[in-house]
Amino acid sequence: MRIHDQLKLSFSNLMRHKVRSILTSLGIIFGVGSVIAMLAISEGAKIQALAQIEAMGTDKIIVATRKPPASGKDVSDSSGNSLMERYGITVSDLEHIRKMDNVETVSVARNARKKILSGMKRLDLSLVGVSTDFLSFSRSEIVQGRWLSPIDGITNNCVIGSNVRRQLFSLGEKNIVGSTIMIERDIFRIVGIAENLYGTSIPGIGSPNDCIFITIMASDSIFGKKAYDTSSRNATVEDVDFDTFIIRVRDVSYIDYTSKRISSYMAKLHSETKDWTMLVPLDLLKQQEQTQNIFTIVMSSIAGISLLVGGIGIMNIMLANVYERRKEIGTRRALGAQKSDIIRQFLFETIFLTSIGGATGVALGVLIALLVTHYAAMPTAFSIWFIVLALLISAVIGVLFGTYPAWKAAQQNPIDVLRSE
């Protein structure tokens, strides 16, 4: 019998038993569907995480102030109650790091929570004093108006993050550049709106989208370096020079050497207080890639086990199918069908089942991933190679787990089968 005729015969046999064919394919459908959905979700999470890390800049080193359990130098009143705590990265640290080899430039920031008033809205938000090159260092962009420049100096001009804009102003107010807000007791004019499209969180600052920015000179002049902390039993005044250094290196190939030098210097100068932390986005990127590779291996193992179980299920059902169709097999053999014809027929039926199940599973997996994106706001990403691989593996499972039932069918003795019927 020609291959074309055998394919038509195999397909028509499946169509005569639609319910059984569907039930036989369920293992492959759910196996492939769950694998595609999990891989799409993990790939989306990977792309988002890598984008956020890359957005910090692979040529950057970030040093940030960290409040120690028992903060640095204290000034106490007569009762022994702490009035002032001085800790964190300092002007001296800035000057020393700027002089290091391979350090191109350093952008600085100081963060403080302030009371913000706009119309009837009163919020507690992050006010960040920054050097004027901070915009490029934070990988943010201006969506309206302009960024701070040296001419702003100690003026009461500010740039607000995109989330702050939504918190303080209604959607109906299209252009808010030139509007004013009150920060503590001072009125500031908004000159621009900044947005970080990656949702990057910078140590010591947080997301630029949630901040109000003024120049570091204005921060020093208007608010000073000291901030009140009323979270403890005794109110304290915190004296912090800077919350964040974003250091850009000249040569990325030497960033490991530069980060070790900075770490060694900071560890020596801040050995008692341990009031600093350091982040190297390039190292995070490498760690994330390693973690993702491990996750992919785990997901692949789960996928393999799932498809193996589905394949075994199909083999068992096909063996039962062979037993039920003994009369059909015996009749075909008596009419001259060769063993190879019987093998091909049952093998084609299994491959049809697994291939259709694989295609249906891919569609189900894509649907699940899209629903997760829509309702859970989780990013997903599809790789054409995952889909092609899933379809190929489904067909291979049909060959592997369909061979034995097909061989078993071909071994039926037509005389014994017809006599038993």
* Mean pLDDT per 10-residue segment, the chain (421 residues): 62 68 79 84 78 77 85 49 76 94 94 89 93 90 94 94 92 86 93 88 90 94 74 68 93 92 93 87 79 78 78 80 72 73 77 84 90 83 82 82 76 62 54
Which two three-digit tokens encode residue 34? 């769950």
21 within 8 A of 353, measured Cβ to Cβ: yes
Q: Within a 10 A sphere around the Cβ of 318, how many other Cβ atoms?
A: 24
What φ, ψ does residue 127 adopt, rounded to 5°?
Answer: -105, 120
Enumerate the β-bridge partners of residue 206: 202
- Under 8 Å between Cβ of 394 and 27: no
- What pLDDT is recorded for position 323? 73
Q: How far apart are CA 40 and CA 37, in angstroms?
A: 5
| Alpha carbons 205 and 210: distance in angstroms, whole number | 9
- Cα–Cα distance, 25 to 28 (Å, whole number): 5
214 DSSP β-pair partners: 129
| pLDDT value at residue 11 | 64
The predicted pLDDT at position 411 comes to 74
Question: What is the reported pLDDT for 75?
Answer: 46
Q: Around Cβ 46, how many Cβ atoms within 10 Å?
A: 19
97 burial type by CB count under 10 A (0-12 exposed, 13-18 middle, 19+ buried): buried
- Residues sharing a CB contact under 8 Å with residue 49, sequence separation 6 or more, in sequence order: 288
Give 155's DSSP letter: S
- Calpha distance 401→318 (Å, rounded): 9
Could you tell me the two tokens for 87? 């800790």
Q: How far is CA 205 from the centre of its chain?
A: 21
Amino acid identity of residue 178, one-letter, is G
Position 149, amino acid: S
Q: Who's near 373: CB < 8 A, 6+ residues apart?
A: 44, 379, 380
**Residue 395 Cα distances to 198, 354, 388, angstroms:** 40, 6, 11
- For residue 186, the cross-strand partners are 183
Q: At 110, phi and psi to the nearest 5?
A: -130, 130
Any long-range contacts for 94-99 (C-beta under 8 Å, 24+ apart)?
A: 94/241, 94/242, 94/245, 96/265, 97/63, 97/245, 97/247, 97/262, 97/265
Amino acid letter, residue 349:
E
Q: What kind and span of H or E run contains 356?
A: helix 339-376
Among residues 177, 83, 69, 186, the alpha carbon closest in space to that of 127 is found at 186
The C-alpha angle 376, 161, 277, rounded to 5 degrees, equals 85
Assigned token pair, 80: 């022994």
Q: Which of 362, 339, 324 is nearest to 39 (CA)?
A: 362
C-alpha dihedral sign at 24, 30, 33, 36: negative
